[in-house]
Each structure stands twice: as C-alpha cells, then as structure tokens.
Amino acid sequence: MAKYFPLSHDQLKELTRTFPTPFYLYDEKSIRQNMREFTKAFSIFPEFREHFAVKACPNPYILKILSSEGCGADCSSLPELMLCVNAGIQGKNVIFTSNETPSQEYEYAAKNGNIINLDDFTHIEYLKKTLGKLPDTICFRYNPGPLKKGGNAIIGKPEEAKYGLTREQLFEAYRICRDEGVTHFGLHTMVASNELNPDFFADTAKILFELCAEIKQKLGIRIEFTDLGGGLGIPYKPDQKKVSYEEVAKKIRAYYDGIIVPAGLDPLAIYWECGRPITGPYGWLVSTAIHEKHIYREYIGLDSCMADLMRPGMYGAYHELTVSGKENAPEDSVYDVVGSLCENCDKFAVQRPLPHIDIGDLVIIHDAGAHGRAMGFNYNGKLRAGEILLREDGSFKEIRRRETIDDLFATLDLDGVSSFKA
C-alpha cells in the first residue's frame, strides 16, 4: 500500500514554483486528526495530557496547532522552553526534562512555573542552590536498568543509558524533597524509542505504577502524575503496522485498575511526551533529482542531503521514498539515493527498488515530520531546508524559510579577518 501524501503530482509541481526544493511539508489537517485520535484513546483515564516532544519538530506554528488540540510540551533546553512561551504553552503544561542542565535553564523553567523533571540525584542540591529553594512540584526520571528489557539503537539498553536515577536513588530523592517542603510529585521514565509493541508500554506503566504504590507505602508520598515518556513508534517500513492507541491505553488501564486503584492513588494523571507518532507521518522532505551516476552501483543524487535528514545516515533508519507522478510505475530500477555531503553515509536509501528516476523528478521522503528538520546541521557549509505548512483550507504557509549563506556566516567576524595577522 502506497504511503500517504496530501498533494497530487500537479499540485506538488505547482508548489515548487513558489518554494523551490528541498523543503519540508507538513499537513495540518492530518496532524490535528491524529492528535484527536490520540487524546480520545487515553480519555479512559481520569486525567490525561500529551506533552509534545518539542525536539521532534521545534516550530512554533506546529506547537500552536498542537496546543489548540490540548497538548502541552516536553522540553529539554532553554530555546525549546522559549518556543513554548512564543506558542502560548505555559505553566505546568510544560515539562522540562533535561540532563546535565545549566543553572540558567532551571531558572527560566522555574520562573515560568514549568514542571521540572530531574535526571539525577545530584541535581536536587544543584537546583536548590540555583533557585534558593526547591519548587513546589518535582518529578524524577527513573532508569529501571536491567529490570526493563528492551532498548534499541536510538536510546540503548536502560542500564547503559545516561538517563535517570536508580531505584535506590529514587526513594532517597523523594524523601529529601519531601523533607525540603516539596508538596507535589511526579514520576517519569523513557526507556525506548520508536517501539511498535503495545505490550512494551503496558509493561513500562506497570513498573511505574508499582513504584508509585511502594513510594506511598514507604514514604507517605502520593505521586500525582506518571509521565510514560515517549517511544511510541511509527511504521516507517511497508511491512510494519501503526500502533493502536486504543490497545495501548486499554492495556495500561488494566494495570491502573489493578495497582493504582487498590493503592488509593486514584486519580493519577497519565502523561505522555510523544513526538514521533504525533507529527512524524505527516511531514515529508521534498527533493529534486539533480544527478545520476553509473559505477559499481546506480546512484541518484538529490538536492537535499544528510544535513536535511540525518536519520538514515546516522543509524541506518529506513524512510519510504516516492517518485512523484510515478507512484504506480513498476519498481524496475535499483538505486542508492544520495545527497551531496562529503560523507559516504549520506544516503537516503541503499539498493532501493524504485521506478526509473529521471533528472528533474520530484522525490518525496516520507515520515520525516519528526526528528527530521530538527536534527539538521551545517557540516560542509550546507544550508538547511525550509518548512511549509499545508493549512486545513488548502493554502500554504512558509513557517520557516530556508537558510541562507548570510545565516551561516552570521556568527563569523568576516570584516575583522582581513586585518588579522596569522
């Protein structure tokens, strides 16, 4: 089954006359529909909120759309916190989950009343010293280590990951914060990324729920919310299936009823901080084929490169490719589809069966709406692509212009170099 794309070939060609490739395209209508489906599935809990992972698609237009659908935000840096303010996401609708965090970022989050999610035991004293006292709400990130089987190339095994507190540290951390006057508590974990098995998330929730019950029993502390992290995957490959939000919610609800309710912790708010499943399938990198090469393999060179979409070159991630206007043509050619970066890993597809590609063909790279443009970089002096939003009314809005050489050189002292004596 062909991957969804919101424009016909003629519509896409017309769009490129206004916005030359490469560019990212996002579909507002689909993002909204998907977010409503996500919210509906988890409405079986007394309180639920998705905190969109800003790192997945850090554009204030996208954040504002999601905010209007009831989303909060998950941030990991000062600029992400500032984007949320710009998009109107405020207070405890923002969770600040960072690591190795500079003091000024904690100060900004605290000033704005955001929930601070601490990644390490030593950060308790660091935060207290930074703010003068601990905030009234504290959350801790738990690393279950070998207790949680799984992990993948994106995050790694929990016991090898740099994130979170051990079980022993967690109990001592809550005790200290309770004694320091903290009155509201949360518990968070995230142990995998791009996971498609619903049982994985139910098992994660069970671990957190059992911890909540034990923390109440041993410390008298009532955890008010559990943040299940992100990690919900999307079907990048043709043989993969979309995760059923309803199935995940029902499996977690069963553990909620079996653990949280008897422990006297109901109502307990359930939070997510997903990015990939919210915008990932509804963003595309659109490029033009500008070169072909015939050596030991057949190559097609695009006008975009790994600097625009890092995932395939970084860890071999798969993205479906469509040649616009040739969706139904036979896939009778095999290509490495590459960019112009001076790195051999700059490949969007390796030995991929595709229709014959002519110079000038538009190539659509699917499922690029999360961790796509956001992970771009300027190695080789490459200028990153812009972003276009397809509005619900069918109009287009440029929500990020493409970079220019002036942008790239903005931090350099080009005037002073002429008088510099080497």
Give CA–CA dist 9/362, Å, rounded. Answer: 9
HSE, CB side, 13 Å, CA atoms: give it for residue 46.
12
- Catalytic option among 71, 177, 305, 342: 342
Q: Give dist(CA 35, CA 238) in Å, integer.
A: 23
Give the pLDDT confidence score for residue 1 in this predicted structure.
Answer: 67
Whether 84 is catalytic: no
- Options 3.40.50.11540, 3.20.20.10, 3.40.50.300, 3.30.70.3420; CATH of 28-279: 3.20.20.10
In the chain, where are the structural domains located? 28-279, 281-409
pLDDT at 152 over 60: no
Average pLDDT, the chain: 95
Q: Considering the entire predicted model, what is its pTM?
A: 0.94
At residue 117, the pLDDT reads: 98
Q: What is the CA radius of gyration of the chain?
A: 23
Residue 360 is predicted with a pLDDT of: 98
Q: How far is Cα 256 from Cα 221, in angstroms, rounded to an integer?
A: 18
**pLDDT recorded at residue 155:** 44
Q: Count of CB atoms within 10 A of residue 237's CB?
A: 10
Eight-state DSSP code of residue 248? H
| Residue-wise pLDDT tens digits, 229-274 | 999 999 999 999 999 999 999 999 999 999 999 999 999 999 999 9
Q: How confident is the model at residue 192 (pLDDT cuts 50, 70, 90)?
A: confident
pLDDT at residue 156 above 70?
no
The phi and psi torsions of 413 (rounded to 5 degrees) equal -90, 80
Pairing assessment for the beta strands 298-302 and 396-400 based on DSSP bridges: unpaired
- The Cα 103–Cα 107 span in angstroms is 6
Percent of the chain at pLDDT > 70 equals 97
Nearest C-alpha neighbor of 301 from the set 6, 22, 8, 10: 22
Query: Which tokens hold the place of 30?
Result: 């689909």
Q: Do domains 28-279 and 281-409 have the same CATH topology?
A: no
What distance in Å separates the CA atoms of residue 5 and residue 25, rounded to the nearest whole number?
10
Q: Please, are residues 103 and 124 in contact by the beta-carbon 8 Å criterion?
A: no
Structure tokens that stand for 336 in this block: 């490495």
Scan for tokens 């502390």, then name that residue: 221
Work out the angle at residue 110's Cα, subtended by the Cα atoms of residues 222 and 374, and round it to the nearest 5 degrees. Answer: 100
Alpha carbon distance 195, 191 (integer Å): 10
How many Cα atoms sit within 13 Å of 68 on the Cβ side? 11
Size of the chain in residues: 422
* Integer angstrom CA distances of residue 167 from 143, 149, 272, 362: 7, 16, 21, 52
Contact 333, 354 (CB under 8 A): yes
Name the residue with tokens 């080497």: 422
Q: Where in 122-274 does DSSP place strands (E)?
A: 137-141, 184-188, 223-227, 269-272
Structure tokens given for 378: 């300027």
Residue 182 structure tokens: 């903290």
Q: In the structure encoding, which two tokens stand for residue 140, read together?
A: 């801790």
How many whole angstroms separate alpha carbon 244 and alpha carbon 231? 14
pLDDT digits (tens, 9 = 90+) for 203-232: 999 999 999 999 999 999 999 999 999 999
pLDDT band for position 418 (50/70/90)? confident
Measured distance CA(182)–CA(198) in Å, rounded: 34
Question: Does the bond joining 267 to the residue before it have cis omega, within 30 degrees of 0?
Answer: yes
Superfamily assignment of 281-409 in CATH? Answer: Lyase, Ornithine Decarboxylase; Chain A, domain 1 (2.40.37.10)
More confident residue, 119 or 422: 119
